[in-house]
Structure 1
Amino acid sequence: MASESMNAKQARNQCTKGKRQQHQQIKNRSSVSDGDGEDSFIFEAHEAWKDFHESLLRFYENGELCDITLKVGSKLISCHKLVLACVIPYFRAMFLSEMAEAKQTVIEIRDFDGDAIEDLVKFVYSSRLTLTVDNVQPLLYAACILQVELVARACCEYMKLHFHPSNCLAVRAFAESHNRIDLMDMADQYACEHFTEVVECEDFVSVSPQHLHKLLSSSDLKIDNEKQVYNAAIKWLLANPQHHSKWLDETLAQVRLPLLPVDFLMGVVAKEQIVKQNLKCRDLLDEARNYHLHLSSRAVPDFEYSVRTTPRKHTAGRPVVLMVGRKCWRPGPGIGLHSGIG
C-alpha cells in the first residue's frame, strides 16, 4: 500500500511539473516585453466573435433585452439600439442626435416595405440576406435610404444577373431615382448590347429624353446598321409629340444620318413629316447628303467630319456600299468611311 501511495504521489508531482513547464513554454513563446523587464501575455480569442454574434442573433429572435421597436405599417420589429447603430448609419445618426426619436422606445418608419425592413434588420444580426425577384427592389430602396451600402451593392449585382430587355429600362430609371450610378451603368450596358430587343419593349417609348439620347449616342450599340437607330428614334418621337418642341432635333442628332444609305435618306428620312417641318432636322439631313457627295469625289467645301460620320463599334468593320447617282462606291478592305481624311 505504501508503495502504491508513493507511486501516485510521484505521478502527481511529475504531472504538476509538466504543466508548469508547458505554461512556461507558452509564456515564453507569447510574451511581450513592456520595456521594464516584465513580460505581458496577450490573449486573443478570435472565435469569441462568432459566439458574440450568435448570442446577439438569439437575443433578437427571442425578443430578449430589446430596447427599441421599429413600427413599419402594421409590422412591429423589436431589436437593439446598439446593434442597429453599429451597422446602419441612418440609425447611428438618429440615436446619437438630439432628435426626439433618440429617446423613444417605438420608432415609426413610414414609406417603407415592412418585410424589407425586417429582412434588413435580420441582416444586421446575421450578416445573411436572401434576395429574390420579389424583394430586391424594396430592399434596395430601404438600403439606399438607410445607407446600408453592403446590401445596396448586393441588390445591384442581383438585379444585373436578372436583366432582361423588358425590365432593364425600368431598372435603370429606378437606379437613377436613387442615384445608383453603378446600377445605371450596368443597365445602360445591357440595353446597348440588346438594343434591338429593348426597342421592341413597351418601356422604350416611356424613357426620358435624356436617357434616350444617352442610349442613341452610344458607340456601343449592338446593331446591324444605322437604320435601326433611326427607326428607334422615330418610334420614340411619334409616341411623344409633347417633346417635339424641345427635343425633336436633338433626338435626331443622336442618329448618325450620314451613315444611312442614300436611298434610305431620300426615300424615308427626307419624307418623314416631323423631319420636313423642322429646320434643324433639315440641316442634319443636308449634312448627311454632303457626306455622301464628299465621298463621291465631289468635294464639299468646308465639310467637317463629326461623331455622326463615325461608324459605331459593331458596324465599323462591315463593308458599306454607297450609291451616288448611278455610281457605286465600296470602301476597300480595312478602309473606313472617312479614311485618308485628316
Structure 2
Amino acid sequence: MVEVETSTFEARSLFKDSFKILRQLYEEEELCDTMLKVGEKAIHCHRVVLAACSPYFFSMFTSGMGECYQDTVTIKDIDSYALEQIVRFAYTSKVVMTTENVQSLLYAACLLQVEVLAKACCDFMKAHLHPANCLGIRMFAEQHNRMELMKCADKHSCDNFLDVIQHDEFLQVTAGHLTAMICSSDLNIDSEEQVYEAVMKWVKHDMATRKQHVSDIFRHVRFPMLQPSYLMSAVEREEMLRQDHSCRDLIDEAKNYHLSKASKVPGLKYSIRTQPRKSCAGVLFSVGGRGASGDPFKSIEAYDLRNDRWFQIPEMSTRRRHVGVTSTLSKLYAMGGHDGSDHLNTVEMYDPHINKWTILSPMATKRRGIAVASLGGPIYAVGGLDDSACFHTVERYDIESDTWNFVAPMNTPRGGVGVAPLQGYLYAIGGNDGVASLNSCERYDPHLNKWVEICSMIKRRAGAGLAVLNGFLYAVGGFDDNAPLDSVERFDPTKNEWEMVGSMSCCRGGVGVSALGGKVYAVGGHDGGSYLNSVEAYDPILDKWAEVSSIGICRAGAGVATCDCTVTRLKDIGQISVVSCV
C-alpha cells in the first residue's frame, strides 16, 4: 500500500488579514447584516463579529430571540459613545480609555459581557485611584459587582484616609460605607482623634438625616484610644453624644479604660475598641542578640504591623547579646548584655523622632541575661548573670537625672529572668539561679520597696519572654535547663494563678517577646538545633499562634520591646546614625 504523504500549512497572518478586511467592511458599512440603534445613533455592523466578541450578542443572535430576525436592534441604557467604542473594539481589539469615559465604558462592557474590556477598564481605574475619587469609584464598583476594583478602592481609602476625608466625596458616602471604613484596624491614621473628628464632620454635614445613625457609627470609633485630655475637653462636652445613651456608654468605657491603665479600676472588659489600630499601635523592635556565628549583633530590626514587614534602623554603638530592652516615653532603651568579649553595664537610648542613639549613664553592675522594664516613670534593671554568679540585685534608673541607684533585691538570684509591669507592680518570673531553671515568681511593690513571692509557674523557664496583654502576664518559651520550650502560660493577677494557653509552632529558648496591637509576638530564639528568624503572634481570642513576616537575621538573646511611635516617624530609614553622649 502506497503511503500518502501529508503536510499541514498554516497561514499565520490570515486571521489578522481577515480582520483587517472585516474592519474595512465595517468602516465602509459593506455587507453589514444588523444595525444597532441607541438613542439617535445608528451603528451598522456584522452579527458574527459582535457574537465572537460578546456573549451577550452571541446569545441574542443564536438563541432564537426576536432580535435574530430583526435588521435593527435597539440597545437601551447604554451611552451611545460607549457602545460605538465597544463595537469598534470588536473589530480592532483597541479602545482609548480616559478618566472621562472609563466609567461609561465599564458599564457598557459589563452589560454586554465583554469581560476582557471590563477588566481593562478596572485596571485603568485602579491605576488612577486618588483620594478625591476613590470613594466614588468604590461605589461604582459595588454597583457593578467588580469586587477586585472595590477592594482596591477600599485599600486606597484606608491607606490615604487622612487625605480622603478632606474631599467632598467623603461627605456623600452612605452610613454603611462610612461604617465599613472606620471599623477597619488597617485604617492609616496618626491618632484615633482623627477618626472621631471625621465621623463628627460627616454627621454634622447633614445632621437632620444622619443623627439616626450616630450610635451605630460611633461604636466603631475606638474611644478608649482617645487621649484622656481630648476625651474630657472635647468628646464628653459634645451635646449630640451626651443625648445618646449608647454614646454615653462608649465614653464611660473609655474613662474606665484609662482608669484601669492607672490601676484604679480592676477587671476591665476588653474589646476591639480597647485595641489601637495598626498604624498607631506602636513599633516592635528586635535589638541585638546573636546568631549561628556566635558573635553578638548591634543591629536592630523594626516591625511595621500594618504592612507586616521588618526593616532596619540605625545600629547601636555596641554589640549586645542577652541584652535588656524596654521602652518608655516613646524612646527605646538597651542595657547591659555581652559584646562577645566582656559583660556590659553600658546603656544607650534610641529616639525614633530623630533616628539616633544616645549613650546614657552606665549601671553599677556588668551583666547579661538582664531584664528591664519601666514602672511608674523609672526603669528597673533586674537580675542577670556574669561568668561567676547569677544576681538578685535590682537597679533603678531615673530618666530625668540620668542616674542609677539600687533598690531592694529579689528574694532569689535570677539570670535570664523575665520582667514586666502590671497594675502598679513589677513582676519577675523564672530565670536560672546558677543551679537550675526556675518556675518561681515574685513581684516588687515600689511604694514598699519590697519583693514578695507569688504563685509559681507551671513550667520552669529561663530565657523566656514575658509580655503584658489585657491585664494578664504571658510567659513564652524559654529553656527548662537546656531544653527549649514551645509552651506558653498566662498569669491572672486577680486570682494569683497561672494557666497554660496555646503553644507556639516551635520551641523557642532565648526568645524576644512583646505585645503589639492586641497580640503577643514571639521573635526568633533557638529551637535546640538552630537559631530562628521566624516570628509568630498569639491571638488571645482564638487562643492560637500564627506566623507573621520573619526578621531578616536569625537571632536569639535579642531584646524585644514595643515603642509608642509610628513607622512614619522613623526618619532616614537605613541610614547610619551618629551616636552622641549626654
Using the size of structure 2 for normalisation, the TM-score is 0.49
Pair 1:297–1:82, CA change in 2 (3 A):
same
1:97 aligns with 2:57: no
Structure-2 change in CA distance of 1:339 and 1:79 (3 Å)? closer
The one-character-per-residue Cα deviations of 1:27-84 (angstroms, maximum 9, x if unpaired) are xxxxxxxxx9544322222221211221211111121110001111221111001110
The 2-side partners of 1:120 and 1:337 are apart by 49
Residue 243 (structure 1) aligns with:
210
Q: What is the deviation of 1:235?
A: 1.0
Separation of aligned partners in 2, 1:310 and 1:329: 25
Determine helix, strand or coil for the equivalent of 1:154.
Answer: helix
Report whether the alignment pairs 1:309 with 2:274.
Answer: yes
Letter in 2 for 1:315: C
How many Å apart are 1:298 and its aligned residue? Answer: 2.8
Q: 2-side partners of 1:123 and 1:339: how far apart?
A: 52
CA deviation after TM superposition for structure 1 residue 224, in Å: 0.9
Is 2:160 the partner of 1:160? no
Deviation at residue 114 of structure 1 after TM alignment: 1.0
Shift, 1:296, TM fit: 1.6
TM-score, length-normalised on structure 1? 0.81
Determine which of 247, 268, 291 is the counterpart of 2:257. 291
Instruction: Determine if the alignment matches structure 1 residue 273 to structure 2 residue 239.
Output: yes
Aligned to 2:320: none
Runs (4+) of structure 1 exceeding 3 A deviation are 36-40, 318-322, 327-342
How far, CA to CA, are the matches of 1:146 and 1:328 in structure 2? Answer: 67
Aligned amino acid, residue 236 of structure 2: A
The match for 2:77 is 111
Tell me how far 1:112 sits from its aligned partner: 1.6
Map 1:172-251 onto structure 2 (within 5 A).
Answer: 172-241=138-207, 242-245=209-212, 247-251=213-217
The count of aligned residue pairs is 302
**Equivalent residues of 2:26, 2:45 under 8 A apart:** yes
Larger radius of gyration: 1
Q: CA deviation at 1:239?
A: 1.9
Are 2:162 and 2:189, in contact at CA under 8 Å, matched by a contact in 1? yes
CA distance in 1 between counterparts of 2:187 and 2:75 reads 43
Residue by residue, what CA displacement relative to the aligned partner does 1:235-294 show, whole Å, maximum 9, x if unpaired? Answer: 11122331332x211210111111111111111111111211111111111221222122
Q: Does the CA-based 8 Å contact 2:278-2:517 persist in structure 1?
A: no
Structure number with the higher helix fraction is: 1
User: Which of 7, 15, 20 is equivalent to 1:49?
Assistant: 15
Task: After TM superposition, give the deviation of residue 206 of structure 1 in Å.
Answer: 0.9
User: Aligned to 1:176, what secondary structure does the other structure show?
Assistant: helix
* C-alpha separation in 2, matches of 1:113 and 1:143: 11
Asked if 1:63 corresponds to 2:29, the answer is yes
Look up the SS of the partner of 2:186 in the other structure: coil
AA at the equivalent of 1:167: N
Q: Give the distance between the partners of 2:108 and 2:158, measured in 1 at CA.
A: 29
Higher strand share: 2
Supply the distance in 2 between the matched residues of 1:62 and 1:85 (Cα, whole angstroms): 20
1:218-242: CA deviations, max 9, x gaps? 2222211111001011111122331
**What displacement does 1:170 show?**
1.3
- Gapped regions of structure 2 (runs ≥ 5): 284-326, 331-375, 380-419, 422-512, 521-538, 541-582
Where do 5+ consecutive residues of structure 1 fail to align?
1-35
Q: Tell me, yes or no, if the aligned pair for 1:321 and 1:329 is still in contact at 8 Å.
A: no
| Partner-residue secondary structure (3-state), 1:41 | coil
Equivalent AA in structure 2 for residue 41 of structure 1: S
From the superposition, tell whether residues 283 and 321 of structure 1 become closer, same or farther in structure 2 (CA, over 3 Å).
Answer: farther
Give the Cα separation in 2 of the matches to 1:151 and 1:260: 47
What SS class does the counterpart of residue 21 from structure 2 fall into? helix
2:272 counterpart letter in structure 1: V
Is 1:143 the counterpart of 2:113? The answer is no
Percent identity (aligned): 43
Write the distance in 1 (CA, Å) between the matches of 2:94 and 2:36: 20
CA–CA distance in 2 between the matches of 1:195 and 1:70?
44
For 1:45 and 1:308, how far apart are their aligned partners in 2?
Answer: 67
| Cα distance in structure 1, aligned partners of 2:238 and 2:48 | 65
What letter corresponds to residue 183 of structure 2 in structure 1?
S
C-alpha separation in 2, matches of 1:335 and 1:248: 32
2:277–2:517: 8 Å Cα contact kept in structure 1?
no
Is 1:127 equivalent to 2:93 in the alignment?
yes
* Paired residue type of 2:271: S
Offset of 1:216 from its aligned partner?
0.7
Give the whole-Å Cα distance in 1 for the aligned partners of 2:517 and 2:58: 60
Task: Give me the whole-angstrom Cα distance separating, in 1, the residues matched to 2:177 and 2:47.
Answer: 42
Give the match's secondary structure for 1:107: strand
SS of structure 2 residue aligned to 1:112: coil
Mapped partners of 1:94, 1:52: distance in 2: 24
User: Closer, same or farther in 2 for the Cα pair 1:328/1:97, shift >3 Å?
Assistant: farther
- The aligned counterpart of 1:27 is none
* 162-171 or 255-264, which deviates more: 162-171
1:69–1:76 Cα contact (<8 Å) kept: yes
- 2:221 corresponds in structure 1 to 255
Compared with structure 1, are the counterparts of its residues 339 and 56 closer, same or farther at alpha carbon in structure 2 (3 Å cutoff)? closer
Q: 1:39 to 1:305 in 2, by over 3 A?
A: farther
Would the alpha carbon gap of residues 337 and 140 (structure 1) be closer, same or farther in structure 2, given more than 3 Å must change?
A: closer
